[in-house]
Structure 1
Amino acid sequence: IPLFSRKGKTPRRHPPKKPPNSQKDPVGVYCRVRPLGTENEECCIEVISSTTIQLHAPEGFKTNRNGEYKETQYSFKKVFGVSVSQTELFDFVAKPLVDDLISGKNGLLFTYGVTGSGKTFTMTGSPGQGGLLPRSLDMIFNSIGPYQAKRYVFKTDDKNGMEVQNDVDALLERQKRENNLPVPKTPSSRQKVDPEIADMVKQEEAYKADGVDEDSSYSVFVSYIEIYNNYIYDLLEETPDDAIKPKPPQSKILREDQNHNMYVAGCMEVEVKSAEEAFQVFWRGQKKRKVANTRLNRESSRSHSVFIIKLAQAPLDADGDNILQDKNQVTVSQLCLVDLAGSERTGRTGAEGNRIREAGNINQSLLTLRTCIEVLRENQMCGTNKMVPYRDSKVTHLFKNYFDGEGKVKMIVCVNPKADDYEETLLVMRFAEMTQEVEVARPMDRPICGFTPGRRHRNQAFKEELSRKLEERGGPVDRDMPLVVDNLVYSLPPLPSCELTDPHDDITLPRLIEALQNRHRIRQMMIDGCLNLANVIKSKFQELDSNLITRDNFIHEQNGKLFEKDKVIQNNKSEIERLEKKTRMQEHKIDILQKATKIYEDDKRSLQHELETRDQRLHREQSEKRRMEQRMQGVVSDTQLRWEKECERRVNAMQLEMQNKLWVKDEKLKQLKAIVTESKTPGRPEPPPRQTQPKRPSREEKRSGEVIKTRGGGQAVQFTDIETLRQEITTVPSRKRRSSEGKPTNGDGSDGTWTDVETRCSVALEMRAGSNMGPGFEGHGITKRRKP
């Protein structure tokens, strides 16, 4: 298999093989309980012991199926109650990490918890109550203060490594930077420090580490970054101030060095020489950190902040005077102090717009951290080899080396005991309980150089002895003069014992003669050295005299030039004043324009908000109108269908009624036709008058009813009345009398015979339903009518 891939890319370097380390330490998880804001506020956390706390579900929060309240206990390596001071917290948590840092080992300490649980106070503190960060800086510089190297002796190589320069190169670079930067961006230890910062850094007790190597030189570098919306920004990066069009900060990328450790490429690392200077650099970056006002916290951190303290140390040479110029002998250790943003629910914070996106990214990065811890725990407990998703988040990707065995890992879980945070606190406790089960490989001790220890002390004692001898002899006491130091190396040896007790002694006198000759030789060398030095000084004085004459001439010329330059400077000053006035005027105009721009932007945002509100209202009204139209269309269709059914029912009832009436008329016409037909039959005598009597029901019946639609779509007839026609013709004996002509007559004097059709048709039968004709006619009647 070729070493290079098919696409021609450089293959991935395999990490260097490290000696197997079977010793592992669990992740140290500590818990700190914040005091309640008010005394009347409901509390859901109780400290049972120095290692255990108990959570009480608040009133109204049911946790099991039976609706009962549940109480759970969680154990930690150490529990710090509300009365624990910052000093005690530092002693248990951060002090061992500082000891490891000075011993050449790495460390990671981060605070974790809900928004408003006291993470930033634990890490930074307040005036008079410094947090873990300023206390760690104070302990570092108290320990390495006498052994610090000069500035720029240690130099970063921009690849997460360190180089060592000699004193001359360091001096040249120091002068170069001081000339290029008229106003230093990083405050030096000699400058006046803000009293508030000094109050936070200076502690009541001066801590010092025990494992300081006196034969090494140290230098401290600090860097400060934040991870915001899964992007890395350098909080110490200097950007040009442009009020009109400010330049946004550029995000940084993560890279891997030659030892496969992750670092932020292009991140600014500032060399500091005191705790006050380091904390002032931190405070400068803290002002740039993303914070926002939410319902849960007035200054809620919207990003994860990482403050990196990097300690470079290199051994002295065999003489204990200079630092070894060997890069392989340089040891670099770092301590990362991480203040994680708080996990939160957007519904409680009232976040809108960008705040929702910020909260989502914060929760996603914390979820990735939990996932990595879960996979590590599963791999260690179950023996699996699952891939840990470090690359899913910048936070986990940056600190993957610590979980792989590059240093100790500690976590402080900050909790707020108020009942409103109970659900979030419960999730934090479960995560902390799981994190304690993860073990991290113990870091290896750094190799020790092969030089004899105590070199620095011997070198200082030798220089002190030389200076003492010079003072006794009345010579110069300036230690920085190399010629004097070189001459003092030739000190006269002591004389041996010259007492002669035996005349045959052949040892004492030769030894004395040899010692005297040696002293004479050394004395002559010292005299020659002094003569040479005197000659050098004399030549220097002569050269100085000649230089003084030349310098006087040169000074005279320079004075003339200076006079001309003064005129130019005066002109330039007047021009500068004019430009400054113009600049102030332009700045005033810029301020006015900025204010106008801000007003316009506010008006624009308000108008956009109003426009969005009106659009939403218009959309709601249109949707309401559409729903109303649909509802009215449904009502109209239902009403139309109901009236159609009603009209159809009435038409059917009317048709049935008309049919009944037509049937009645047809029957009447049939009876009338029958009467007419009988009257026109030839040769048949006229029938006597008849009367109709009510009889029993006969064959013909009249029915009336309503037509109703059924559910299946058919029709049904419901009868509302029945009318029966009963008719019988009976012959009533009439009392006839004959007239004088012998013809029969009726009782009223008329002729008793029906002589024509008109007379016979004058009697008709009429059926009326419901008429009362007297006894014997039950709801039916026959009316006898005559034609007038």
Structure 2
Amino acid sequence: MNRLDDRLSYLHASYTDSRMTQDSTFNPCKNLNDVFQSVSIEDVDGETLKVYLRVRPNLPQETSKDEDVQIDILDDHSIILTAPASSNTFKNSTHGITKLSQKFTFSHIYGPSTTQKDLFDTATLSLVRDFLGGQNCLLFTYGATNSGKTYTVQGTPTNQGILPRTLDVVFNTIGEHHYQKNDLKPQYFCSVIRLDEKDIQKEEERKERIFKIGSELSTTYSQSTLSLSKLSTSDDSLNYSHQLTEISAFSNKSSEISKVFPGVESLYHDNTSLDIGDAENIIYAVFVSFAEIYNEYVYDLLEKMPTSKKNKRNPLMLGEDRNGSIYIKGLQEVRVCSAEEAWKVLDIGRQNLHFATTRLNHNSSRSHCIFTIKVIKLAKADSPHVARVSMLSVCDLAGTERAGKTRSNQDRLKEASNINTSLLVLSRCIEALRRNQMQKGTKKREIPVPYRDSKLTRLFQSFFLGHGKAAMIVNISKTPLLFDETLQVLKFSAIAKQVAISQAKEEHTNVKISNRKSHFTSFVRQSLNSTGRLSVPWMKRPSDITFGASSDILEKSV
């Protein structure tokens, strides 16, 4: 009987442990308050994820004499948030459920008076330096809807955001050291191939076709172009809210968002240039791409939009290379030779983005957009055989929102559901990483990180695994209406800041430039198994495969 009791006790303990593991695996963020309370600086070993906070100033229509969210910036790293009387947090605090005031710490805090230039120089410039030095980098914004994320990333014509400034710095640093030929192209995650004359012709025609799309879009919207005179030419950050007000008031249709960015000749230029070492002996080729994740489908923003509802855009699949790095299959990467050309590509993609009007934001982004810059670095030679490829992705995440506050219709509700789901998966991944970090060195089993539950987290996976550097800019506003969402954003950010991302050994230091003509021969030679039979794993066509000492790519769908 005792043996039976012992056996039942063992089974009960195993079942309880299994339930705890299952709960942690599938819903690690079910109680964000408990997770937030458990975060401690002493728990972290190694370099943590850089998390920056930017506080948006109030817009004129948000100014209220009755109440306001009290945000006390203690120093460059600490902030105290106090709930307004209208928030759910305030009501819960009266019953002892939550605290009325809470303190948060960040890598750096930027107040309402921070200029675009100051933010870029202190939060982004070091990442651009690492990128040009050969490191893969990711920068993404996070926050509630209408918190200033898109302004931070893109800015205005006279007050550029971090992305246009990054393009300026990249080409300022490269200078005249451009690779003059058009026979190279990045492929997959960070591989490179050599093109023959026929492929070069196709690439040039594709670039012309993309720029033609841009000219057609500009012609379509030219009758209602927003004049630059409506935007202040001052860098004073106090004009920030005035500019946002004009943009929101003017743009009542999704297609009109691009009108705040007129011709590239009128854009403000950042003259910063970086010293990256042995630049005199290196030449560069720069490529850009622009994608969006809309309702959990990935689309190329450089594709021409369908003219009728019957024709739908073709969604793209995700692929995984031999090293486990994730990329977007079929995404167009355009060779650009100047910041102006890169801006044109950015503007074309921006006009194809999904925007819609909600109660909280006249131009609410309905998708996550990812602008990627890839640089191929070559030693000066007429026909180089070895290259180094690095990438910098800037991701403007769609804002978290609640249907009751945005007063969304059926389409907006579906979009909001997918947006919130992907952001929830991101928070689950961050929390799983933190828990595994806490359990390191113990006998507890690691929690599976649910990267595959969302396209967004799948694309972020390589960076969270240490194959590159990542940073996050959190945007918040002081409007009382969004306080509860803002508080959740800050709690998630506090957890993310405690995640240590250990840098893996660099796998893409140098890649062999492959020749398309030799692909099939190499493919057959390397695909013969031990019995002499040809093994063809998950391939579409041999011409899509890159071979080399460190760039053997086997493509497969995710």
Q: Output the TM-score relative to the length of structure 1.
A: 0.49
Distance of 2:164 and 2:473 partners within structure 1: 17
Give the superposition deviation at 1:49: 1.5
Confirm or deny: 8 A CA contact 1:98 1:209 kept in the other structure: no
Q: What do residues 63-86 of structure 1 show as CA deviations (whole Å, max 9, x unaligned)? A: 335579711111111000011111
Instruction: State the partner residue of 1:238.
Output: 304
Confirm or deny: 8 A CA contact 1:30 1:411 kept in the other structure: yes
**SS of structure 2 residue aligned to 1:313:** strand
Q: What do residues 15-69 of structure 1 show as CA deviations (whole Å, max 9, x unaligned)? A: xxxxxxxx94210000000001134353212222111111111024323355797
Give the superposition deviation at 1:257: 1.2
**SS of structure 1 residue aligned to 2:280:** coil
Q: What do residues 587-622 of structure 1 show as CA deviations (whole Å, max 9, x unaligned)? A: xxxxxxxxxxxxxxxxxxxxxxxxxxxxxxxxxxxx
Distance of 1:176 and 1:424 partners within structure 2: 48
Q: What do residues 545-582 of structure 1 show as CA deviations (whole Å, max 9, x unaligned)? A: xxxxxxxxxxxxxxxxxxxxxxxxxxxxxxxxxxxxxx
CA 1:236/1:151 → structure 2, altered by over 3 Å: closer, same or farther?
farther
Distance of 1:207 and 1:58 partners within structure 2: 44
**SS of structure 2 residue aligned to 1:207:** coil
Larger gyration radius, structure 1 or structure 2: 1
CA 1:307/1:157 → structure 2, altered by over 3 Å: closer, same or farther?
closer
CA 1:161/1:419 → structure 2, altered by over 3 Å: closer, same or farther?
same
**SS of structure 1 residue aligned to 2:405:** helix
**SS of structure 1 residue aligned to 2:211:** coil
1:202 correspondence with 2:227: no
Select 2:92's aligned residue among 58, 63, 68: 63
Q: Using CA pairs below 8 Å that are at least 6 residues apart, which structure has the higher relative contact order? A: 2
Instruction: State the partner residue of 1:213.
Output: 279
Q: Amino acid of the residue matched to residue 226 of structure 1? A: E
Select 1:247's aligned residue among 311, 322, 347: 311
Pairwise mapping of residues 266-281 of structure 1 onto structure 2 (< 5 A)? 266-281=330-345
**SS of structure 2 residue aligned to 1:252:** coil
Identity %: 38
Confirm or deny: 8 A CA contact 1:408 1:443 kept in the other structure: no
1:186 correspondence with 2:211: yes
Confirm or deny: 8 A CA contact 1:108 1:336 kept in the other structure: yes
Instruction: State the partner residue of 1:225.
Output: 291
Give the superposition deviation at 1:264: 0.4
Instruction: State the partner residue of 1:90.
Output: 120
1:30 correspondence with 2:60: no
Give the superposition deviation at 1:186: 3.4
Distance of 1:158 and 1:422 partners within structure 2: 41
CA 1:182/1:154 → structure 2, altered by over 3 Å: closer, same or farther?
closer
CA 1:360/1:47 → structure 2, altered by over 3 Å: closer, same or farther?
same
Q: What do residues 681-706 of structure 1 show as CA deviations (whole Å, max 9, x unaligned)? A: xxxxxxxxxxxxxxxxxxxxxxxxxx
Q: What do residues 726-782 of structure 1 show as CA deviations (whole Å, max 9, x unaligned)? A: xxxxxxxxxxxxxxxxxxxxxxxxxxxxxxxxxxxxxxxxxxxxxxxxxxxxxxxxx
CA 1:177/1:348 → structure 2, altered by over 3 Å: closer, same or farther?
closer
Confirm or deny: 8 A CA contact 1:29 1:413 kept in the other structure: yes
Q: Amino acid of the residue matched to residue 312 of structure 1? A: I
CA 1:448/1:269 → structure 2, altered by over 3 Å: closer, same or farther?
closer
Instruction: State the partner residue of 2:458.
Output: 397
Distance of 2:500 and 2:352 partners within structure 1: 36
Give the superposition deviation at 1:197: 2.7
Select 2:141's aligned residue among 111, 119, 126: 111
Distance of 1:360 and 1:225 partners within structure 2: 20
Distance of 1:182 and 1:267 partners within structure 2: 13
CA 1:336/1:395 → structure 2, altered by over 3 Å: closer, same or farther?
same
Give the superposition deviation at 1:195: 6.1
Instruction: State the partner residue of 1:732.
Output: none
Give the superposition deviation at 1:155: 2.0
1:322 correspondence with 2:382: yes
**SS of structure 2 residue aligned to 1:399:** helix
Give the superposition deviation at 1:365: 0.6
CA 1:183/1:441 → structure 2, altered by over 3 Å: closer, same or farther?
closer
CA 1:221/1:62 → structure 2, altered by over 3 Å: closer, same or farther?
same
Distance of 1:448 and 1:183 partners within structure 2: 31
Confirm or deny: 8 A CA contact 1:151 1:271 kept in the other structure: no
Q: Amino acid of the residue matched to residue 117 of structure 1? A: S
Give the superposition deviation at 1:410: 0.5
Pairwise mapping of residues 165-176 of structure 1 onto structure 2 (< 5 A)? 169=196, 174=200
Give the superposition deviation at 1:386: 1.6
Distance of 1:377 and 1:448 partners within structure 2: 32
1:425 correspondence with 2:490: no
Select 1:144's aligned residue among 168, 174, 178: 174
Instruction: State the partner residue of 1:752.
Output: none
Q: Amino acid of the residue matched to residue 118 of structure 1? A: G
Instruction: State the partner residue of 1:651.
Output: none
Pairwise mapping of residues 342-353 of structure 1 onto structure 2 (< 5 A)? 342-353=399-410
Confirm or deny: 8 A CA contact 2:439 2:446 kept in the other structure: no
Aligned residues: 409
Distance of 1:447 and 1:163 partners within structure 2: 16
Distance of 2:452 and 2:324 partners within structure 1: 14
CA 1:107/1:65 → structure 2, altered by over 3 Å: closer, same or farther?
same
CA 1:182/1:264 → structure 2, altered by over 3 Å: closer, same or farther?
closer
Distance of 2:479 and 2:369 partners within structure 1: 26
**SS of structure 1 residue aligned to 2:210:** coil
Q: What do residues 641-689 of structure 1 show as CA deviations (whole Å, max 9, x unaligned)? A: xxxxxxxxxxxxxxxxxxxxxxxxxxxxxxxxxxxxxxxxxxxxxxxxx
Give the superposition deviation at 1:210: 2.7
Distance of 1:70 and 1:85 partners within structure 2: 30
CA 1:154/1:183 → structure 2, altered by over 3 Å: closer, same or farther?
closer
CA 1:212/1:117 → structure 2, altered by over 3 Å: closer, same or farther?
farther
Distance of 1:440 and 1:261 partners within structure 2: 16
Distance of 2:510 and 2:298 partners within structure 1: 36
Instruction: State the partner residue of 2:64.
Output: 40
Root mean square deviation, CA, Å: 2.7
Q: Output the TM-score relative to the length of structure 2.
A: 0.69
Give the superposition deviation at 1:97: 1.1
Give the superposition deviation at 1:393: 0.5
1:290 correspondence with 2:320: no
Q: Amino acid of the residue matched to residue 50 of structure 1? A: D
Confirm or deny: 8 A CA contact 2:388 2:509 kept in the other structure: no
Instruction: State the partner residue of 2:111.
Output: 81
Instruction: State the partner residue of 1:49.
Output: 75
